[in-house]
Amino acid sequence: MAQSDEAALTQPEPVIAELTLKRALGPTSLIMIGIGSIVGAGIFVYAGHAAAANAGPAVLISFTIAGFGCLFAGLCYAEFASMIPESGSSYTYAYATMGRFMAWFIGWNMVLEYGVSASGVAAGWSGYFLSFLQHMGIAFPAAFANAPLEGHGIGDLHLTGAIINLPAVVLIVALTALLVVGVRETARFNNAMVLLKVGIVLMLILFGLPYVTAAHFTPFIPPNTGQLGHFGISGIFAGAAIAFFAFIGFEAVSVSASECKNPQRDLPIGILGSLAACTVLYILIAVVLIGITDWRTLDVPDPMSFAVSKVAGLKWLVQYVNIAAMAGLGTVVFTSLYGQTRVFYSMARDGFLPPAFSAVHKTFHTPHRGTIIVGVVAALLAAIFPFDVLADLVSIGTLLAFIAVCTGIMILRITTPKAPRSFRTPFVWLVAPAGIGVCGVMMFFLSDGTKWRLAIWTAIGLVIYSVYGVWHAAPWKWKVSNGE
């Protein structure tokens, strides 16, 4: 029989498939998951830090650059998601286009994006929680509210005298329990938290805009201090590398493919919808943050609350900001834990990790064992480490994943040009290289220490791959099928 002109990217039935994840998510839940992951540490912490340390008022340009980098990558993600409706996000996409080794390489570095991020953001959530208690007149023992280690890098860690960051641990344990119970129930909780924090952010924008002062935006681009990344043009790009962390949550949408009702249609909507909504919110909130106070004073743990507290007419908003921050950072922890468990679920199904990570609960239809393991490890990290120790690693691991996705979509356009695509990346030969370029530039402006730590982390992953993954991995499952 004659072969059809239509080529399709297909895979055989999964090897471990007696129980599957429950398809319970529609486009609204997916957009909420994306917004839940995006609106968090970036809007409540990093906007102020990037302005004070790198870009000044030009942090608005930094956010725009970071947003474009994520837009380019997001368009590539959307096409992949419409073609390969499988959990695993960039790990799965790398597997389909570049083979097992690159799949492992990307999957291992995605731990930096999800697992490490969950722990660090939980530590940040703890700070706003304590501020909330303080405004309520409740004292919490400092020894049980802070990390016992602190420092700006792996090499300069030192003891703080604290015992454990207990609020961060309790948050992760509670969210892990919700994830075990079921994705629909957890999605409902996430939706409620997203509505709460977005509502308060909109309230802050509405009441804050009248207090914006033009003088706070002068000079818009402060002169460079003579050091790369400290103001001037290089400071804008350094600020973009920091602001990038504020956008990376949209990728969490793509890890939920196996739990979508209609993944080919809903995933692109979820990815691009959440990214567009959050870009608008970020630009507006950055205008308010810079416009109501001196940007030089914003390098503090809670810049949003700090800025609002300095304006007499806005002081009543401080406690609302604390609530929004707790809801915002809490949903980021949720989506990070969710993303990590689903990436490990996909890797275990492919044999790269032990089967425990792909075991599905008979009643809840969730990867319960993997979720518990990830939750325990994340809680331990949150108990002892502050976020700033590993924050840059989160960014560089994610940037690497984005570059892989942009590269992979170009490979698929060559190898399977006629494969069915319910969404096609527009101007792919401009968008994909632009995504690689913008993400590459942001990686360049991260610190040398971060790049070395990425190399060490990758080396550890290669050892695990050599000892376990390469011997247990299932045969490469993706193939081009030309139907007869």
pLDDT of residue 12: 43
Cα 159 from Cα 250, distance rounded (Å): 35
pLDDT of residue 428: 92
| Contact status, residue 169 vs residue 12, Cβ threshold 8 Å | no
CA neighbours closer than 13 Å in the CB half-sphere of residue 264: 6
Structural domains in the chain?
25-473 (1.20.1740.10)
pLDDT of residue 183: 62
pLDDT of residue 184: 64
Dihedral over Cα of 228, 246, 397, 165: its sign: positive
pLDDT of residue 258: 61
Mean pLDDT, the chain cut into blocks of 10 residues (484 residues total)? 42 42 68 74 74 88 86 83 68 78 83 79 80 82 77 59 86 89 68 79 89 90 86 88 75 66 74 81 87 86 81 87 81 82 85 87 84 91 72 78 88 84 85 93 81 85 88 68 41
| Contact status, residue 84 vs residue 8, Cβ threshold 8 Å | no
Cα 333 from Cα 176, distance rounded (Å): 10
Angle at 64 between CA 201 and CA 34, to 5 degrees: 50
What region does 350 belong to: left with phi over 0, alpha with psi -120 to 50, or beta?
alpha
Buried b (16+ CB within 10 A) or exposed e, 321-341: bbebbbbbbbbbbbbbbbbbb
